[in-house]
Amino acid sequence: MAHLTAEDVAFYREQGYHLYKRPVFGAEKLAKLASIFEEQLAEKGDKLSDELDTPHFRDPRLLEFLLADEVLDLVEPLIGPDIILWSSHFICKDPYKGRQTPWHEDSAYWNGRFDKYDNIVTVWLAIDRSTKENGCMRVLPGTHHNGFSEYESVDMAVNTFHATIKNIDESRAVYFELEPGECSLHDSRIIHGATANASPYRRCGYTMRFLSADTKVVPEKNENWQIFLARGRDRAGNAYVNA
């Protein structure tokens, strides 16, 4: 069973992340998830591989993984027993041509969509091996305490987002190197990003994003968005797909 120690939780609270260096799912279940990803990749058409957003809206088979105890047992010690499934995203950096992910806070892109941002966690599950060479995620530890940062525009031809945080000291970065099936967890407010993939090896991960269910999801800012009560009870008066 997936498990975080008290020391793991304390580190996450202080630094804003945790690397879970054990398989989240068994081999058969991980292979099933990887197969669903390959289907999504084949069906994407001209859409870039790093843009396969909210695939569970289209493919409910993914709820087997997003609502799994193996995942929720990692999330609960960090945000509490009442959990909302907010979103998911296949992020795939193709060999040699995957775009870089500029420095950003997830919470900045969701500004106005919730009433608070202090209990939002992303699980980044490695489908491929994720290394410094192929553009693994990197974070600036402790920056989830800083509030929203100041951004400047960047070229989306070579970046996955339109803006990056100003005045970053990259020497502080911690790189999230993971084997297939392992995961990282990070606070939505932490500053993070990734370099482009200049290697011959694909780098794919599945992000699973969760909120504490005392967070109000603002309806008028989330039109046609699907949220699920993953565990526990609603505490903010939200409307769920599976209510």
Average pLDDT over the chain, rounded to whole? Answer: 92
173: in domain: yes
Long-range CB pairs of 232-235 (<8 Å, 24+ gap) are 232/80, 232/81, 232/82, 232/83, 233/82, 234/82, 235/82
Q: How many helices (H) and strands (E) does the chain have?
A: 6, 13
- Domain of residue 115, residue span: 6-231
Question: How far from 77 is each of 4, 63, 89, 153, CA to CA, in Å?
Answer: 7, 21, 23, 36
90: in domain: yes
Structural domain tally of the chain? Answer: 1
pLDDT of residue 41: 85
E strand or H helix that includes residue 154: none
| CATH code of 223's domain | 2.60.120.620
| pTM of the predicted protein model | 0.94
Instruction: Please tell me the total number of residues recorded for the chain in this structure.
Output: 243
241: in domain: no
Once rounded to an integer, what is the mean pLDDT over residues 128-141?
A: 96
pLDDT in tens, 43-95: 876 665 555 889 999 899 999 999 999 999 999 999 999 999 999 999 888 89
124: in domain: yes
pLDDT of residue 100: 86
157: in domain: yes
221: in domain: yes
Alpha-carbon distance of 113 to 149, in angstroms, equals 17
- Is pLDDT above 80 for 203? yes
pLDDT of residue 119: 96
pLDDT in tens, 214-227: 999 999 999 999 99
- Percent pLDDT > 70 in the chain is 96
